[in-house]
Amino acid sequence: MYMTVHVLEKPASSKEHIVETLPPVLAVDKLTVKYQQQIGCENVNFATYPGERIAVIGPNGAGKSSLFKAIVGLHPVFTGQIRIAGNTVRQASKLISYVPQHESIDWNFPVSIWDTVMMVRTRLIGPFLLPRQRDRQAVQSALEQVDLWDLRHRQIGELSGGQRRRIFIARALAQEAKLVLMDEPFVGVDVKVETEIFDVLDILRREDITVLIATHNLAQAANHFDKVLMLNRHQIVFGKPVEVFTRDNLARTFGGTLRMWEEDGGLIMITDDPCHEDHHH
């Protein structure tokens, strides 16, 4: 299996103006995460700004999930620190929306789209208070923006793959999150659904919500994201795709799982072996 990665100078659907003089939405400083005495990721350093879309790439076991779980407070920080809008993870928990891998969600749970999105408002109003008018308005607005309002009474298990992923973007909007983490949202989807997901991710961008997405799709990472974080237990590089998509960085990130060569026009050809999962090419 192979794919061609052509790194654009200006990625498709990139953010026009990223103001890096503003305080970062997420700042990760010299972060190392351990669990069960094993290092998940180590010495990770990067910062993201309002509305940025960041691709996090690396082989299986590279530490992508460890990084995400540390950011949302599910894994303890061993060394270093994480700041979200200047706050600790605990202080900023209401500002973070986490979308786990699709397969880890129980889609047979008997709950409607409306209730699934309303649940995030509970974090804002408290578990023992009834939703207020502004909570209902926030949920309605979020569902309308992702084109799920007419399906609000439908049970989540009845939805298509693209609709299921849009629920979580609606949750982030209703929650008024500043940071959204998505773990492999494009796995198993076709081109049509992938396009639908990027369309609603553009809604998050317009709301200045920062998005980190773990993905195995290198062509997607090169051409649809503002910046790329390459991990292989430790940080390889972080920066704009046109700067970081080099043969050396990719070789250091993926080791022997990728074989590369260049062609005229600046194309990087990447041969995929069975050790590297990519469901899109």
* 274: pLDDT strictly greater than 60: no
239 forms beta bridges with: 228
Tokens matching residue 277: 């999962």
Q: What's the pLDDT at 275? A: 41
In whole angstroms, give the CA distance from residue 131 to residue 121.
8
Q: What is the CATH number of domain 2-272?
A: 3.40.50.300
Q: Determine contact, residues 62/232, Cβ cutoff 8 Å.
A: yes
In whole angstroms, give the CA distance from residue 268 to residue 25.
32
Q: What's the pLDDT at 124? A: 67
Q: What's the pLDDT at 277? A: 40
* 44: pLDDT strictly greater than 50: yes
Q: What's the pLDDT at 259? A: 64
Q: What's the pLDDT at 280? A: 39
Query: Could you tell me the residue ranges of all domains in the chain?
Result: 2-272
CA atoms within 13 A on the CB side of 66: 26
Rg of the chain in Å (alpha carbons):
19
Q: What is the pLDDT of residues 227-251, one digit of tens each?
A: 999 999 999 999 999 999 888 898 8
The pLDDT > 70 percentage for the chain reads: 80
* 278: pLDDT strictly greater than 60: no
Give alpha helix (H) positions in 63-211.
64-71, 113-125, 133-145, 161-175, 191-206
pTM score of the predicted model? 0.84
